[in-house]
């Protein structure tokens, strides 16, 4: 049963006014971010294939192709997430239709998808390229369906994820010797790294030992059988694609910390050696990682700075949590204090939207763990730069497309929405509103464990506010909320068996967490502010 509260206005309480004002200010940012994200979805959907209904890889060179590693991995899942939060009719309608069509038309090796041609209305290639299918499937699962499932829980999309993963197990244990196939010599470590991340999380979600055993095979290959694959690599890629193995090794290491400490002990020396070597030779003076390094000689192969720096530091922070490695903690903290001073409007991947998205996500995920003021300032400045790309792209490409929501017209546009939503959920402190519309302004501010929510609407609104939960535990059964690539951080979480004071426009009542999780139903009158305060009771 929902909690129904009919609210009358009251005078502001001066003690809380500053927090409610900040929450409202955050609400305007949230409104802009959500509006931009939904515009991206609705405008991209105007370019779906007229026959299949699938979205193209890109709006230029790949406009007649759907594929798993780009269309499905980077773009479509964040259309689904956006509609889940902002347009339930779209979520339950066209988004689900696209999934069902994709399953029907693109599955080729069992459920594993292959690239699909809109002009042929058939597979792009006559011959089956198993390596390409494996690569695309691993990308789709890890980059798209894992973060989607971690947020929305069990769904047709999680069913798709599990069926593909199970079919993938018939074609691989450990990917070996695939250098040069797709992204240079990083592809082997990329796929294995993605699988380590996927298998570690799916093991916790399902508690099925087959996923754990599969992950251990991959980890054994890198940490026990062939440690030179990383430690003696002459071109070890730390930028996007190459860095997946770092996160993957940290995630299986974290899993074994809780389920098999003896096995974790066998990995410990080598994983620390690899991570320490990367710290020694792979960073500039600010603690930012280079694109590519020679692990044998210590030479820097590509001195450009990676946009996904936080993806790598997630792994270091995880090892710090598990092993209390203070050096790793200090390594993480160093660049977080320098970003605002030295990396504003930085040239992340030629100042493209995807580069900003990965860099900002890096900052948000680590700010969730380390509340460093300089980092907060940097995130708030950079998100506006990323948003401005959506505006400038429309102006520059007005003759190419008329839609204001298109960012750059390629599959990386999905990452714009992913990071924007991540930012907005921070500014609401994980509070969501159903139904959402562009006239609704709501934001939050947390101070010393007290949540302040400000809400107002440009027209009468009736709906429900939902507060944050421990998704890592409730959905994925993770024993600890370690930082991981593409997760949506948790901010203020409601627990079933705890009690809270719920105060709305200074009228309060006490409520159990499991009832508070059901939502706060509001009837909000046009232009009238609603001030909601949630305090955990001791």
- Domain definitions of the chain by residue range: 51-172, 180-330
- With contact defined as beta carbons under 8 Å apart, do 160 and 136 qualify? no
Alpha carbon of 16 to those of 12, 24, 448: distances in Å? 8, 13, 12
Contact residues for 100 (Cβ-Cβ < 8 A; gap 6+): 156
Q: Write down the pLDDT at residue 181.
A: 46
- With contact defined as beta carbons under 8 Å apart, do 454 and 503 qualify? no
pTM over cut 0.75:
yes
CA dist 176 and 40 (Å) reads 38
The β-bridge relationship of strands 122-123 and 116-117 is antiparallel
The β-bridge relationship of strands 530-536 and 440-447 is unpaired
Q: For the chain, 538 residues long, give each residue's pLDDT as a single digit of tens.
A: 344 333 333 444 677 899 999 999 999 999 999 999 999 999 999 999 999 999 999 998 889 999 999 999 999 999 999 999 999 999 999 999 999 999 999 999 999 999 999 999 999 999 999 989 999 999 999 999 999 999 999 999 999 999 999 999 998 777 776 544 444 446 889 999 999 999 999 999 999 999 999 999 999 999 999 999 999 999 999 998 889 999 999 999 999 999 999 999 999 999 999 999 999 999 999 999 999 999 999 999 999 999 999 999 999 999 999 999 999 999 999 999 999 999 999 999 999 999 999 999 999 999 999 999 999 999 999 999 999 999 876 555 554 555 689 999 999 999 999 999 999 999 999 999 999 999 999 999 999 889 999 999 999 999 999 999 999 999 999 999 999 999 999 999 999 999 999 999 988 999 999 999 999 999 999 999 999 999 999 7
361: closest CA among 344, 334, 340, 379?
379
CA dist 330 and 155 (Å) reads 39
Q: Write down the pLDDT at residue 4.
A: 39
Q: Write down the pLDDT at residue 396.
A: 58
- DSSP run (H or E) holding 123: strand 122-123
Three-class SS string for 2-38? CEEECCCCCCCCHHHHHHHHHHHHHHHHHHHHHHHHH
CATH architecture of 180-330: Alpha/alpha barrel (1.50)
**How is residue 236 written in tokens?**
């070890």
| DSSP per position, 423-449 | HHHHHTTT-EEES--TTEEEEEEEETT
CA dist 235 and 242 (Å) reads 10
In degrees and rounded to multiples of 5, residue 259 shows phi and psi of: -115, -20
Please count the helices (runs of H) and the strands (runs of E) in the chain: 20, 17
CA dihedral sign of residues 394, 400, 401, 407: negative
- DSSP run (H or E) holding 264: helix 261-281
Q: Do you find a cis peptide bond into 435, omega within 30 degrees of 0?
A: yes
SS3 301: strand
DSSP label at 248? H
> Which residues, listed in sequence order, are joined to residue 443 by a DSSP beta bridge?
454
DSSP label at 184? G
517: closest CA among 108, 3, 80, 46?
3
Question: For the packed helices 309-323 and 353-367, what is the interaxial angle rounded to 10 degrees?
Answer: 20
Q: Write down the pLDDT at residue 395.
A: 54
Find where tokens 């980059």 sit: 143
């Amino acid at each position: 049963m929902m909690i129904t509260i009919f609210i009358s206005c009251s005078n502001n309480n001066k003690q809380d006014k500053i927090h409610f004002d900040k929450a409202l200010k955050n609400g305007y940012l949230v409104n802009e971010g959500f509006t931009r994200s939904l515009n991206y979805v609705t405008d991209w959907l105007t370019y779906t294939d007229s026959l299949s209904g699938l979205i193209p890889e890109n709006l230029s060179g790949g406009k007649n192709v759907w594929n798993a590693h780009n269309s499905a991995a980077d773009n479509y899942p964040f259309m689904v997430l956006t509609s889940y939060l902002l347009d339930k009719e779209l979520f339950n309608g066209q988004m689900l239709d696209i999934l069902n069509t994709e399953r029907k038309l693109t599955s080729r090796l069992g459920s594993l998808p292959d690239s699909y041609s809109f002009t042929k209305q058939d597979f792009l290639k006559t011959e089956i390229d198993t390596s390409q299918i494996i690569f695309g499937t691993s990308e789709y699962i890890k980059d798209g369906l894992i973060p989607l499932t971690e947020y929305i829980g069990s769904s047709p999309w999680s069913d798709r994820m599990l069926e593909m993963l199970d079919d993938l197990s018939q074609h691989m244990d450990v990917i070996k010797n695939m250098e040069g196939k797709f992204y240079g010599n990083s592809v082997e470590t990329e796929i294995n790294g993605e699988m380590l991340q996927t298998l570690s999380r799916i093991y916790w979600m399902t508690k099925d030992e087959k996923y754990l055993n599969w992950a251990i095979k991959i980890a054994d290959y890198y940490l026990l059988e062939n440690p030179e694959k990383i430690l003696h690599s002459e071109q070890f890629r730390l930028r996007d694609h190459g860095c997946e193995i770092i996160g993957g090794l940290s995630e299986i290491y974290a899993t074994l910390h809780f389920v098999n400490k003896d096995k974790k002990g066998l990995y410990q020396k080598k994983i620390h050696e690899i991570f320490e070597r990367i710290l020694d030779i792979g960073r500039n003076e600010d603690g930012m990682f280079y694109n590519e390094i020679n692990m044998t000689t210590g030479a820097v192969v590509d001195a450009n700075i990676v946009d996904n720096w936080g993806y790598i530091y997630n792994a270091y922070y995880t090892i710090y949590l598990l092993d209390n490695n203070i050096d790793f903690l200090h390594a993480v903290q160093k660049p977080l204090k320098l970003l605002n001073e030295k990396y504003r409007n930085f040239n992340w991947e030629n100042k493209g939207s995807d580069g900003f998205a990965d860099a900002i996500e890096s900052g948000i995920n680590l700010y969730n763990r380390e509340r460093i003021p300089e980092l907060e300032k940097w995130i708030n400045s950079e998100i506006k730069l990323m948003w401005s790309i959506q505006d400038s792209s429309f102006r520059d490409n007005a003759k190419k497309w008329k839609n204001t929501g298109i960012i750059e017209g390629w599959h990386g546009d999905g990452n714009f929405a992913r990071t924007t939503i991540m930012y907005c959920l921070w500014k609401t402190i994980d509070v969501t509103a159903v139904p959402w519309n562009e006239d609704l302004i709501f934001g939050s501010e947390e101070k010393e464990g007290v949540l302040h929510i400000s809400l107002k609407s440009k027209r009468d609104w009736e709906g429900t506010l939902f507060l944050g939960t421990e998704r890592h535990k409730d959905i994925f059964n993770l024993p600890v909320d370690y930082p991981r690539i593409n997760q949506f951080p948790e901010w203020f979480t409601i627990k079933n068996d705890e009690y809270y004071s719920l105060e709305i426009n200074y009228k309060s009542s006490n409520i159990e967490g499991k009832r508070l999780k059901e939502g706060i139903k509001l009837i909000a009158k046009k232009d009238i502010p609603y001030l909601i305060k949630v305090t955990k009771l001791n």
